[in-house]
Amino acid sequence: MRIDQICGAGLVVLAVTACTPALDWREVRSPDSAALAWFPCKPDRFARHVTLAGTAVSMVLASCSAGGVTYALSHAELPDPARVATALSELRAAAVGNIGGDAQLIGALSVPGMTPNPAAQRWRIDGSRPDGTPLRGQAGFFSRGMRVYQATVIGPRIDADAADTFFTGLRLVS
């Protein structure tokens, strides 16, 4: 192959990849909750048992990574409505603690279909990986009835438009 053919092929590959969006937004409905979310990639689903607000619960997580950033939505069902505010607080503390971060309140989080709760908030979290590499994140916490939710965007850098698309795309349906 001649150098001009190699360069021409390289330009074609470059042109095709330049036109490929890094984020391929799609609406995803959680099969075991009322949540609808816009994800920029196809999420995988995981479940594990955790203790939340003093109760063992199953936490279900849908997450994917695109452009070096992870997008996630998790939920858990509590047995008692009196534990919801405590659970939302614990989720926030864990999100901050997991990356050894500092949190700053962005503001109230309003998700269509959620139960109004003063603990429904969106936070900016600055922290780091165990190796010291900086991590930036945004996390939102909200509830519906006895189900609590956490939405998270985390990576070395957060694109504000992508984070806004993710958070404003959240809604709870019947």
Quote the pLDDT of residue 2: 36
In the sheet that holds 121-128, the strands lie side by side as: 44-52, 55-66, 69-77, 147-155, 134-144, 121-128, 102-108
Burial (CB count within 10 angstroms: exposed 0-12, middle 13-18, buried 19+), residue 24: exposed
Which has more pLDDT, 161 or 10? 161
Quote the pLDDT of residue 18: 35
Quote the pLDDT of residue 68: 95
Quote the pLDDT of residue 121: 97
Query: What does the CA dihedral 150, 155, 157, 158 come to, rounded to 10 degrees?
Result: -30
Quote the pLDDT of residue 23: 84
Give percent of the chain above pLDDT 90.
83
The pLDDT mean for the chain works out to 88
Q: Work out the pLDDT band at 168, boundaries 50, 70, 90.
A: very high
Question: pLDDT by residue (tens digit) across 2-58?
Answer: 334 433 334 333 333 333 356 899 999 987 889 999 999 999 999 999 999 999 999
∠ CA 75-76-81, nearest 5°, is: 120
Residues 128, 100 contacting (CB under 8 angstroms): yes
Helices (H), the chain: 3-19, 84-98, 160-168
